[in-house]
Structure 1
Amino acid sequence: MSDTWTWRPLGDLFKIGAGKTMTAAARAGDDKVPFLRTSNVLWDRLDLSSLDEMSIPTHELPDKLVEPGDLLVCEGGEIGRAAIWDGSVTPMAFQNHLHRLRPKSDDVEPRFYVYFLESAFTQLGIFEGAGNKTTIPNLSSSRLAALQVPHPSLSEQKVIVATLGNIREAEMLHGQLRAGAYELKRAAMEQVFRRGLLGKNQVDSLLGLIPEGWVVEELGNSHSVQTGGTPSRRNPQYWEGGTIPWVKTAEVSYSTITETSEHITAIALEETNVKLFPAGTLLLAMYGQGVTRGKVGKLGIRATCNQACAAIQCPDGIVDSDYLYYFLEWQYENIRARAHGGQQQNLNLDIVRKIPIAYPRDPDEQKEIVSLFKAIDQKVELHQARLDRLRELYQRVLLAIMTGEVSPDDVVHAARTSEGNAA
């Protein structure tokens, strides 16, 4: 840390307030107000997409509300996670699993302590053991108040907040632009696969309304659908020193697959039922926890895959593989819904072969559709790359300033230079 910074207990700088406990009476009462939970408080930002409500007695309410500029710190979950309340919803209360901190003097910039707590808990590890070691680790108000924190001059605090805040704002902008490009892609898919590139007349089909003149058939009618396999892990000859890429469902996620985390040997390929598929083959995840099932990827290399992947090829080439890739992406939710089974629902080869697909007969029209979606994908990828660089920049700058490697003025100059390069 900077040699010029003094250290004080957090409780000397902030008045720490306790939130309202959710009870059956609070849940059922009248005149409810929204309240913040730990899930609403992320590092240096708030997620207000899901707000709960509770009834708070009139005489208690003033002490259980948050005001713009309040520093909120999580007691449980990811302890220490902090953000500033922005005043966007009025009134707003807070639950007892959050601490509300208000400065005791004018020389405290609350957002500086958001950044310090983030570095302390996620980078430096200087508050390890700060949480109570009960069945649910938590950061009590007394432990929070006792945390030793730096207290730079107010001008230094403001410089640091401005620097890190600018990077965070750039992150948010590119996150929004990425999300906007993705939503554009979803809207374009709905338009193109329903009406075609030129807004053709529509006809009803197994897929609902589609452009007139398009072919509608089951995937297996025009495509070869196979699966891979997993060589025995008990035979080291199948795995040790392997150079043949072996794809798992977790690696199938709407991208071109050019590398894999595991490889098998030529002996495994020769002695087992594992098949080698050429570049351009589509892989569809038939199993997988969470959102994996139903996702599609495209091989950019020759590779094998496990038995949970369906390898899809069009032998006579009447359907462009990139076209099918985007069509299956559009149909993701419908494909997932075709799964069967008990607690763990999966797809199988028979189900995949029966997936209905639609495509224009003209191969040039298929390629035009592919070009449209690739152009949008490039915009998504551009914003994602910039977002990744900005996130990396933020972590570097945060660590540098909180460890005293550079002064606030140096950080301002470095951040402006790096941010300009990232953009």
Structure 2
Amino acid sequence: MISVRLRRIAQINPQTSAFDRLGDDAELTFLPMEAVWPGGRIDISQRRTKAAVSTGYTRFQNGDVLVPKITPTFEAARSVLVNDLHGGVGAGTTELHILRPEGDVDGRFLLYVTNTHEFLKLGEAEMYGVAGQKRVPDAFIRDFCVELPDLESQRRIADFLDAETAHIDHFAQANNRLLDRLAERRVAAVINEVSGGEYSRKRESTLAWLNSVPDSWGEVRVGLLARMGSGHTPSRSRPEWWKECTIPWITTGEVQQVRNDRAEEIFQTREKISEVGLRNSAAELHPKGTVVLCRTAASAGYSAVMGTDMATSQDFVTWTCGARLEPFYLLWCLRAMRQDLLGRLAMGSTHKTIYVPDLQALRIPLPPTREEQAEIVRRIRSNNERVDRLMDKVKQQVALLAERRQALITAAVTGQFDVSTASGRGVTE
């Protein structure tokens, strides 16, 4: 083996003359960031004309290794080797570094180099930029040192890793399919509970997201059961309103806490407002137990219960429940109807919004007593706990497979073992 920098064995972010030779109407492969997946999976079905991607896009060709430069896709080992591009050429997101193998370098071996532990960890350490927008610099790629065996050995290592990683990826994909099924089962169980479960006497529901409800239940507009409210942002141009801030203030940043539906309550907020700001704006202090629903942008449809007295921004609508409605029962109704709610009510092409008049018209299935509502919540929590435990175990297996995959690649590429004497799949078992 010889130690060599990447720039000596591959062109880094080179010009693509094959792209320049195309006519403006010629079609080529288009690759947005979301089309590049972990494990080398890639969707090359999208196409654009050369004229449509002549500026503002990264260009590449068959045989190139594409390395995502931005967090968290870089750390997720989402590099790919591209082949079978339409016309042999592609264009895509600018968040890619292009590595074009030269001379006696196997493209598959180069791809595995970009998936080693050292490459990913050192690249992560070299990232620059603000949180959430950090990128791996061009200089790191160029100067990264590779222990390069001869071409025959590169191909032998790549053949071995192709077989072994395919074996690992098969199990990982099976586990991910299981996670999808468990998530579907979790949602279905919630819908089943808020529609009456195993009640024997049912009638057809008038709600679009339910088939039936028990005969003894109502289907009631939420506004008749809870006081609806909203929120506001005190003027940022009045700095005196943003001093001595002590009131928890829910913004879209808090949605991350409840996005997976495991947490029911929000207790902490990233921002707070002051008593002065509250008094001089349309913001309102809502009591503990108030149900909140985000109605804008990518967080639209997500809901939670306030764990203490809080205010919200204008991105939220709130319901303070009366004597007939258990707040956590309302919460699970909102979560059960989320897809229907978004499909019917979320409007706007760029920043979708669920408008207040539509929310004022929301109806839910209503068991006659709060005790019955509380029992439904108890059963939902019990089922969710069982499913979540299973999902956690499966996720742990997926993480272990990813660790094993990277360790195997690192060991093979750096020569920690001779793949010609490795015992095949036994290495991964």
One of 282, 285, 295 as aligned partner of 2:302:
295
Letter in 2 for 1:239: W
2:55 corresponds to which residue?
none
CA contact (8 A) 2:288 2:308 kept: yes
1:280 corresponds to which residue?
289
What is the rounded CA distance, in whole Å, between the counterparts of 2:88 and 2:351 in structure 1?
A: 37
CA contact (8 A) 2:222 2:363 kept: yes
Question: Against the structure 1 CA distance between its residues 12 and 229, is the aligned structure 2 distance closer, same or farther, given a 3 Å change threshold?
Answer: closer
Question: Against the structure 1 CA distance between its residues 81 and 177, is the aligned structure 2 distance closer, same or farther, given a 3 Å change threshold?
Answer: closer
1:324 corresponds to which residue?
330
Larger mean Cα displacement after TM superposition, 101-110 or 277-286: 101-110
2:421 corresponds to which residue?
none
CA contact (8 A) 2:81 2:108 kept: no
CA contact (8 A) 1:43 1:82 kept: yes
1:338 corresponds to which residue?
345
Letter in 1 for 2:244: G
Shift of 1:312: 0.8
1:311 corresponds to which residue?
318
Shift of 1:264: 1.9
What is the rounded CA distance, in whole Å, between the counterparts of 2:381 and 2:115 in structure 1?
A: 38
SS at match of 1:325: helix
* Number of equivalenced pairs: 363
One of 128, 145, 149 as aligned partner of 1:149:
145
Q: Share of identical aligned residues, percent?
A: 17
1:73 corresponds to which residue?
66
Query: Deviations 1:88-137 (Å, cap 9, x if unpaired)?
Result: xx999864347675994789844531225544544435972459xxxxxx
Superposition pairs of residues 154-233 of structure 1, within 5 angstroms: 175-194=176-195, 196-198=197-199, 200-207=201-208, 209-213=211-215, 214-233=217-236
CA contact (8 A) 1:228 1:305 kept: yes
Question: Against the structure 1 CA distance between its residues 233 and 390, is the aligned structure 2 distance closer, same or farther, given a 3 Å change threshold?
Answer: farther
Shift of 1:380: 4.0
SS at match of 1:115: coil
Question: Against the structure 1 CA distance between its residues 19 and 216, is the aligned structure 2 distance closer, same or farther, given a 3 Å change threshold?
Answer: farther
One of 127, 131, 137 as aligned partner of 1:128:
137
Shift of 1:358: 1.3
Question: Against the structure 1 CA distance between its residues 103 and 251, is the aligned structure 2 distance closer, same or farther, given a 3 Å change threshold?
Answer: farther
CA contact (8 A) 2:218 2:365 kept: yes
CA contact (8 A) 1:112 1:161 kept: no
Question: Against the structure 1 CA distance between its residues 275 and 11, is the aligned structure 2 distance closer, same or farther, given a 3 Å change threshold?
Answer: same
Letter in 2 for 1:240: K
Question: Against the structure 1 CA distance between its residues 382 and 240, is the aligned structure 2 distance closer, same or farther, given a 3 Å change threshold?
Answer: farther
Query: Deviations 1:305-338 (Å, cap 9, x if unpaired)?
Result: 123321112210x232222111111222333333
Shift of 1:179: 3.1
What is the rounded CA distance, in whole Å, between the counterparts of 2:168 and 2:85 in structure 1?
A: 30
Please state if 1:355 is matched with 2:359: no
Letter in 1 for 2:376: I
CA contact (8 A) 2:222 2:364 kept: yes
TM-score normalized with structure 2 length: 0.62
What is the rounded CA distance, in whole Å, between the counterparts of 1:346 and 1:102 in structure 2?
A: 51
Please state if 1:259 is matched with 2:252: no
What is the rounded CA distance, in whole Å, between the counterparts of 2:17 and 2:244 in structure 1?
A: 58
CA contact (8 A) 1:111 1:161 kept: no
Please state if 1:83 is matched with 2:76: no
What is the rounded CA distance, in whole Å, between the counterparts of 1:166 and 1:119 in structure 2?
A: 25
SS at match of 2:376: helix
Question: Against the structure 1 CA distance between its residues 162 and 359, is the aligned structure 2 distance closer, same or farther, given a 3 Å change threshold?
Answer: farther
Please state if 1:46 is matched with 2:49: no
What is the rounded CA distance, in whole Å, between the counterparts of 2:147 and 2:301 in structure 1?
A: 52
CA contact (8 A) 2:69 2:137 kept: no
Question: Against the structure 1 CA distance between its residues 44 and 322, is the aligned structure 2 distance closer, same or farther, given a 3 Å change threshold?
Answer: same
Question: Against the structure 1 CA distance between its residues 200 and 188, is the aligned structure 2 distance closer, same or farther, given a 3 Å change threshold?
Answer: farther
CA contact (8 A) 2:16 2:61 kept: no
- Runs of 5+ consecutive residues of structure 2 not aligned to the other structure: 49-59, 92-97, 129-135, 418-429
What is the rounded CA distance, in whole Å, between the counterparts of 2:238 and 2:396 in structure 1?
A: 40
1:31 corresponds to which residue?
none
CA contact (8 A) 2:233 2:313 kept: yes
Please tell me the root mean square deviation across aligned C-alpha atoms, in Å.
5.3
2:420 corresponds to which residue?
none
